[in-house]
Amino acid sequence: MELLRTIAELQQRVRQQQARGLSIGLVPTMGALHAGHASLIRAAAKDCEYVVVSLFVNPTQFGPNEDFAKYPRSFAADCELAAKEGADALFTPAVEEMYPEGAATFVEVEGLSNRLDGASRPGHFRGVTTVVTKLLAAAQPDRAYFGQKDAAQVAVLRRMTRDLCFGTELVVCPIVRDVDGLALSSRNVYLTADERKQALALSRAVRRVEALVAHGERKAEVLLATARASLAAEPNLKIDYVELVNWATLEPVKVAEAGTLFAVAAWVGETRLIDNAVVG
Ligand code: AMP
């Protein structure tokens, strides 16, 4: 696996591979890689002949009071995991490489960017869509891999790639969970042992809603009330949002149907966690 640090290096390597007729896969990450990221890299390695994993803690998607400075960083372990899962290149640019002096162009998906996580993290999706645009423009991959774990992000990026005519196919991979059900996240390392147990309330709420839908309950009112009650059983958890939405528009729905997304975000101590399931 080769290390690429500049956009010029990335472009040159990818163009060489494309000239040889190889298909290109891109897996954007912020590092602190875990089995969720590994599943994306594996999927890319299965589908594509040259796989680039990007590792960039993107400052523009963090709010001023968020955890950019303390976001977990584990470069050596990330290199090992990416190589083991089949990455051909690891793109690890410096902040100044991605945002050189005078960078003034941002990409924003209007409307969608203010829903779910975008409502509680103003500017977050603008940062995501800007950095993903830069990565797609530089690497021009055939396919780019994202996790359903960040379901609102998937909706925003699907709309963006359609609106901006990117030829890249977005591949969405299922949520990878710990044995106890907690969705894997780089931020789970922030949790104390007690918080780790409290955090299970999110996946429990997701499972309850899935079970209700499986038994024929479709009314948002009932599904959301059940989810809220389930989360309220854990007093140390603070709900950010509990929503039933159309996954494409992120608009609330009254009745769960095909393509409906149940999504939850909550604070456990200082850590904000998310979880979701496609129901209906
Ligand atoms: P991040 O490094 O947190 O920005 O995540 C990079 C990519 O990995 C995103 O597309 C995430 O949705 C995906 N991802 C993170 N956690 C998981 C997980 N538990 N299961 C599947 N994909 C994940």
Residue 144 and residue 236 in one domain: no
Q: What is the pLDDT along the chain (280 residues), one digit of tens a residue?
A: 999 999 999 999 999 999 999 999 999 999 999 999 999 999 999 999 999 999 999 999 999 999 999 999 999 999 999 999 999 999 999 999 999 999 999 999 999 999 999 999 999 999 999 999 999 999 999 999 999 999 999 999 999 999 999 999 999 999 999 999 999 999 999 999 999 999 999 999 999 999 999 999 999 999 999 999 999 999 999 999 999 999 999 999 999 999 899 999 999 999 999 999 999 7
Domain ends where: 173, 203, 236? 173
* pLDDT at residue number 170: 98
Domain ends where: 173, 198, 230? 173
* pLDDT at residue number 280: 77
Residue 193 and residue 267 in one domain: yes
Domain with 243 in it: what CATH number?
3.30.1300.10
Range of the domain at 57: 2-173
Instruction: Give distance in angstroms: CA of 39 to centre of ligand 1.
Output: 9
Tell whether ligand 1 has an atom less than 6 A from the beta carbon of residue 29: yes
Residue 150 and residue 15 in one domain: yes
Residue 211 and residue 109 in one domain: no
Domain count for the chain = 2
Domain with 61 in it: what CATH number?
3.40.50.620
Domain ends where: 173, 203, 220? 173
DSSP string for the chain: -EEE-SHHHHHHHHHHHHHTT--EEEEEE-S---HHHHHHHHHHHHH-SEEEEEE---GGGS-TTSSTTTS---HHHHHHHHHHHT-SEEE---HHHHS-TT-------TTGGGSTHHHHSTTHHHHHHHHHHHHHHHH--SEEEEEGGGHHHHHHHHHHHHHTT--PEEEEEPPPB-TTSPBP-GGGGG--HHHHHHTHHHHHHHHHHHHHHHTT--BHHHHHHHHHHHHHTSTTEEEEEEEEEETTT--B-SB--TTEEEEEEEEETTEEEEEEEEE-
**Which atom from ligand 1 is nearest to the alpha carbon of 176?**
20
Residue 29 and residue 98 in one domain: yes
Active site residue 34: no
* pLDDT at residue number 15: 98
Which residue in the list 34, 37, 124, 215 is annotated as catalytic? 37
